[in-house]
Structure 1
Amino acid sequence: MSTLKKVVLVDDDQVNNFVCESIIRNENFADEIISFDWAEDALKYLQEESNKGVGSFPDLIFLDINMPGMDGWSFIHEYKKLPEQATAHCSLFMLSSAVDRKDILTAKSNEEVKEFFSKPLSPEILNIIREDYIQNR
């Protein structure tokens, strides 16, 4: 059995999304993985899922910072507007190649962001999430 039901990836890099999906599947981390190349599309999906009730909203979101159009910070700003009953059971993690110390500190100080991880996603990162965030829900 997988650790989670649904994981959402939000990253404009399709190759990175493919690699992340493969690692998540290989590690039996989630039953369903949904990738979005555009943060706006991901947000629209989350808005629709939040209206469906408990159980359809993702358990976890991996979010990149630097994306065309809506970046990760704008996404978080809009994410905060979603109904709390939907987002309360979802963990949001930044997964980015950003090396700007300000971005890392901002992510770590943001109450919506559980943790900042540097790309690429790895089995070790998934294990950290399992041990530090999921088992303690």
Structure 2
Amino acid sequence: MQLPNIELACIIDDDGIYVNLVKKIIETKKLCKNLLIFNNGKESIEYFEALLQNLSADKIPEIIFLDLNMPIMDGWEFLKRFTKIKNRFNKQITLYIVSSSINPIDIDRAKSLSTVKDYLIKPVNIKELVNIFKRSA
């Protein structure tokens, strides 16, 4: 298998079991070189807003996996703030919603946002994850 072309991916999710599972898949399959993990939208949006002060390309993820239902700041609030700043990064960032919600209202709302590439329902299977990294590479 070839080395990953994705330098940095990001998971924003408060579900520790899910995060560890995805992290293990990414590491085992060597899908990217580095992984950022945030437990809520507030931590992650503060990271991205701070990056604007010092735009270092190696600290900007190429892929973001975002959960919707989190404490402190949920995925919708993160999206609202991230959408305002994402074009200031000189890098293509592909964002996927990863949620246990199968509510068609959530799915339609997420897919209507230009920031969101796709809506994935947990649990994400290994093949689906590998394909996402291949498409983004």
TM-score, normalising length from structure 1?
A: 0.88
Q: 1:43-82, aligned counterparts within 5 Å? A: 43-53=45-55, 55=57, 56-82=59-85
Question: For residues 72-110 of structure 1, what are the alpha-carbon distances to aligned partners after superposition, in whole Å with 9 as ceiling and x for unaligned?
Answer: 111100001225131751100001111111101111111
SS in 2 for 1:98: coil
- The residue that corresponds to 2:27 in the other structure is 25
State the identity %: 26
Asked whether 1:113 is paired with 2:111, we answer no
TM-score, normalising length from structure 2?
A: 0.88
Count residues with an aligned counterpart: 134
Off by >3 Å, runs of 4+ in structure 1: none
> Mind listing any 5+ residue stretches in structure 1 that lack a counterpart?
none
Contact in 2 for aligned 1:107/1:116 (Cα 8 Å): yes
Residue from 29, 36, 39 that aligns with 2:38? 36
Shift of 1:54: 5.1
Relative to structure 1, the CA distance from residue 39 to residue 57 in structure 2 (aligned partners, 3 Å threshold; closer, same or farther) is: same
> Mind listing any 5+ residue stretches in structure 2 that lack a counterpart?
none
